[in-house]
Each structure stands twice: as C-alpha cells, then as structure tokens.
Structure 1
Amino acid sequence: MSDQEDEGTGGQGPEMEIVHLLRAVVVDLGRHSARFAQRNGMHPTDVRALIALMDASRAGEETTAGRLGAALGLNSAGTTALVDRLERAGHVRRVRGERDRRKVTIELEERAVALGWSHFGPLIDRAVGLLQGYDERELAAIKGFLTGMREAAAQEGD
C-alpha cells in the first residue's frame, strides 16, 4: 500500500497500523508455507489443498474432487492433476462411497498430517500461547475481526 492509498483511508491511524501488520503477517505466513512446500517437493497449491482437506476433516465434512477444486479455484483437469500428485506422494487417498460407489472422496493420509504438524506445529503452538494471554472479551474481538476479514476477502473474489 502506498502513502497515497493511506490518505484515501484516513491516514496512519491505529486502524491502518493493524491493516499493515495483518498484511505483513499474511506475507510471512505465505513464506512459511512456501518453505514447507519447497522442502517437501510440493507446489504451493498442494499445500493449500492439504489445508483445505484438514479443515474439512476437522469440520466432519467429506471432500470430493469437485469440492476441493472449487475451494482452490481449479478446473476439473487441474484438480485431477493435483489429486494425482498428492496421491502419488502418499498424502491423500481416493475413497469410494459405500452406498454410492460412483462417489469418490479425497481423504488425508496420516503421513500428511504428521508432515504438516512437524513444520507448522511450532508456529501453531506459538499462536495458541499468544492467544492464551488474552481474556474472553479480547479473544472475541480478535475472532470477530479475523472472521470479518475472511468474509471481506471472500467477497473480493466474487
């Protein structure tokens, strides 16, 4: 963001300082994720896919290739190539539905979870430790802000 852009949003108040900090965190987290991808011979989209699969699993949701592709903004061919790559690497498996054998879901292998935890675990532990220093009201404010930012970013893609 340039100084000119700051002027359009009211200058350098505490709000803009927070926006700049958030941008810096996003950049730093992107570099952290890129290091993980590089060290493990993965494409950055592979990492995003594994995160999407972990999030879906944590929410108790099944993920089909179509749903994964939509979440990542990939077409059908790109999604197939991605799932093939992750399956060859031993990170995911395709599982046919028990009732409807035509339905295929993508599931994480434990190996992928362990690999991710070995790299991102210390950062997650640090984040949890920082958050434990806040009271309930502050945590609600942080959660509200981050939720609002996710919604704003999602709207920008529409």
Structure 2
Amino acid sequence: MELVHLLRAVTVEFGLRQAEFAARNGMHPTDVRALICLLDAARAAEPATAGLLGARLGLNSAGTTAVIDRLERLGHVARIRDGHDRRRVLLRVEPEAIRLGREFFAALTDGLLDVLDSFDPAERDTVHRFLTAAHAVFTPEPRP
C-alpha cells in the first residue's frame, strides 16, 4: 500500500501543478488535461479529433466543444481540416501553448529526468512496467 499511497501523492502534486499552470494562463484545469491529451495523441501519431478528446476526458459532446472553443479562443489549439478526409476536423496544439507548457514544466521534467538517470536500465524497466500497468488499471475500457 505504501507504493499506492506514493503514487496517489505524486498524482495529487502533479494535479496541483497543472491547476497552477491553468490559473496562470487563464485556463480551466480541464483545458490543461485536454492539451496533454492532444499532445499525447500527436506523439502517438493518432488523429486528434473532438471525439477522441471527449472520450479521453470523459466529456459529452457539448463539454468537449466548450473545451475546444476555450482553447481556440486562447490561441492554444487550432481546428484544421484533415488532408485525407476534408469532412473531418483535427485538433492541433499551437506552438505558443507548447512553449508555455515547456517553460512552466521544464524544471519538473528536468528533475524527473535527473531521477531517472540515477536508475540503472533494469530499474527503469521495472518503473516502466509498473507505471504502464498502473495506467491500464485506471484506463477505462473503450465503449463499443
């Protein structure tokens, strides 16, 4: 249970940093989670659609649209037509939003990378396996 409690403590602290970032940049904490989802989709080469975002955030279509509208008004997200299917709209995180995130979270990211550098490859593999399995526990099964 000690590891479960530590994981919970880390997620609470990370949530607090996300809320601080949101407040400093005129966003709702859900907006920050949306940006993270969109950045993760881009990293995984997944088409970032409103449907994907709503599913990942657990929002209905109205809530998803509200988040996208807020982020678009702030200049953090752009709606772009899919080059392969012009009927589909994709979401792209704008460079300024990426810059703001990097600027705010750089020290935390660097600190985590320093910690990971102190682990040998086998330890990093164990941490990776644990975090991957923990993520699977918390990730709901996709609805048919």
Q: Which residue is equivalent to 1:45? A: 30
- 1:118-142 deviation digits (Å, cap 9, x = unpaired): 1111101110110001111101110
Percent identity among equivalent residues? 54
Tell me the C-alpha RMSD between the 2 structures. 1.6
- Once residues 92 and 51 of structure 1 are traced to their aligned partners in structure 2, the CA distance between those partners, rounded to angstroms, is 12
- Once residues 91 and 142 of structure 2 are traced to their aligned partners in structure 1, the CA distance between those partners, rounded to angstroms, is 25
Once the two structures are overlaid, the 10-residue window that deviates more, 17-26 or 119-128, is: 17-26
- Once residues 102 and 56 of structure 2 are traced to their aligned partners in structure 1, the CA distance between those partners, rounded to angstroms, is 22
Larger Rg: 1
Describe how 1:1-158 pairs up with structure 2 within 5 A: 16-155=1-140
- Once residues 136 and 20 of structure 1 are traced to their aligned partners in structure 2, the CA distance between those partners, rounded to angstroms, is 25
- 1:133-158 deviation digits (Å, cap 9, x = unpaired): 11111011101111111111125999
- Once residues 76 and 53 of structure 2 are traced to their aligned partners in structure 1, the CA distance between those partners, rounded to angstroms, is 15
Structure 1 stretches (4+) deviating beyond 4 angstroms? 155-158
| Count of residues paired in the alignment | 143
What amino acid maps onto 1:19 in structure 2? Answer: V
Cα offset, 1:100, TM superposition: 2.1
What amino acid maps onto 1:22 in structure 2? Answer: L
In the alignment, structure 2 segments of 5+ residues that lack a partner are none
- Once residues 142 and 3 of structure 2 are traced to their aligned partners in structure 1, the CA distance between those partners, rounded to angstroms, is 22
- Once residues 67 and 157 of structure 1 are traced to their aligned partners in structure 2, the CA distance between those partners, rounded to angstroms, is 11
Cα offset, 1:98, TM superposition: 2.4
In the alignment, structure 1 segments of 5+ residues that lack a partner are 1-15
Q: What TM-score does the superposition give when structure 1 sets the normalisation length? A: 0.86
- Once residues 91 and 71 of structure 1 are traced to their aligned partners in structure 2, the CA distance between those partners, rounded to angstroms, is 18
What amino acid maps onto 1:37 in structure 2? Answer: A
